[in-house]
Amino acid sequence: MKKNVPRLLFYLVLMLYSTSSYALESDAEKSENNELVQDKSVLLENEELLSDDNLAIDERNEPSFTQKVKKRFIEGGVFFMIWVLACLILGIATAIERIIYLSLSNVNTKKVLQQVEEALNKEGVEGAKEVCRNTRGPVGAIFYDGLVRSDEGIEQVEKAVIAGGSVQMGLMEKGVSWISLFIALAPMLGFLGTVLGMIGAFDSIAEAGGIEASAMAGDIKMALITTVAGLIVAIILQVFYNIVVAKIDNLVNQMEDASNSFVKIIQNQIGSIPQS
């Protein structure tokens, strides 16, 4: 029995040592696994950050609208695109000038007729002329022309009003023909650039001895860009043209109604107007 005690102690120590070593190994493996998981999570986070940075860089590097327009302008051929741009600028400038002029010419015709009639009753022809001189737009000018001929009879007043209306119509329509010209000219320039671009594309085919997309792409792109630019300019100017024409039609209707009412006022009062 005493001989077996050292042997039992030896086995017990050996068992404890193996158990502790196994526990240390398992702890080491767990720590290594945890480190691997942490490393993977860190890598994933870094990849997400890198992808976000790349997206942000791409967004910053994306060209703006003006840069895109400038690029297309150069690709379409500077020579033709300058003329198309000139049509746009001149057409819009003319249209805006007409819109401002016609807007300032628009007055309350009923109020002007009332003021003219009151001036005729109180101050005579000269008082009515003063009211017309202080009234802006074609209506006041037409009334003034009629009052100048009021001492010659109602027929002369009507002729003066009709002649004054024709003059005012010409003033209102001044510059409208230029807008029409630019509307027609812009797409024509675009189509001319298209034709020349296609000619250049066929020249490239002839020089290459066959159809090569790379040789044709530049000329065809120029042709299409000039066409699109011309059509866009024509559409924009057409909108402005319609606005101007609508304002002119409105003023013409006002002039006709006001002229008829003015002639009736003169006809009713021509015998009692004090001539100065």
- Residue 276 in domain: no
Per the structure, the count of domains in the chain is 2
Q: Do 128 and 28 share a domain, yes or no?
A: no
Q: Do 108 and 170 share a domain, yes or no?
A: yes
Closest by Cα among 111, 96, 26, 81 to 228:
81
Domain residue limits at 4: 1-64
Where b means 16+ CB within 10 Å and e means fewer, 221-244 reads bbbbbbbebbeebbebbeebbeeb
CA distance 171 to 78: 36
Q: Mark which of 43, 64, 85 sits at the end of a domain.
A: 64
Q: Mark which of 40, 64, 88 sits at the end of a domain.
A: 64
Q: Do 198 and 169 share a domain, yes or no?
A: yes
Among all chains, which residue has been given the structure tokens 């042997």? Answer: 7
- Residue 12 in domain: yes
Q: Do 93 and 219 share a domain, yes or no?
A: yes
- Residue 70 in domain: no
Each of the 276 residues of the chain gets a pLDDT tens digit; together they read 444 444 544 444 454 445 444 444 444 454 555 555 455 555 555 555 555 555 444 445 666 756 666 666 666 667 778 888 899 999 999 999 999 999 988 888 888 888 888 888 888 888 888 888 888 888 888 888 888 888 878 888 888 888 888 888 888 988 899 999 999 999 998 888 788 777 777 777 777 666 666 656 666 777 788 888 889 999 999 999 999 999 999 998 888 888 888 888 888 776 544 444
Helix (H) or strand (E) holding 28: helix 4-61
Angle between helices 154-172 and 78-105 (to 10 degrees): 150
CA distance 231 to 186: 7
- The confidence score (pLDDT) of residue 158 equals 86
Among all chains, which residue has been given the structure tokens 């013409």? Answer: 252
- Residue 50 in domain: yes
Q: Do 89 and 115 share a domain, yes or no?
A: yes
- Residue 69 in domain: no
List the structure tokens of 192. Answer: 């001319």
Q: Do 13 and 83 share a domain, yes or no?
A: no
- Residue 274 in domain: no
CA distance 87 to 234: 9
**What's this model's pTM, rounded to 2 decimal places?**
0.68
- Residue 54 in domain: yes
- The confidence score (pLDDT) of residue 4 equals 47
Among all chains, which residue has been given the structure tokens 């480190």? Answer: 35
- Residue 245 in domain: yes
Angle CA 32–38–39, to nearest 5: 85
Q: Do 180 and 246 share a domain, yes or no?
A: yes
Q: How many helices (H) and strands (E) does the chain have?
A: 9, 0
How is residue 274 annotated by DSSP?
Answer: P
Q: Do 106 and 226 share a domain, yes or no?
A: yes
Q: Do 243 and 186 share a domain, yes or no?
A: yes
Q: Do 91 and 208 share a domain, yes or no?
A: yes
Cα separation values, 220 from 97, 107, 174, 189, 229, Å: 38, 53, 40, 16, 14
Among all chains, which residue has been given the structure tokens 């000619």? Answer: 199
Q: Do 83 and 9 share a domain, yes or no?
A: no
Q: Do 23 and 128 share a domain, yes or no?
A: no
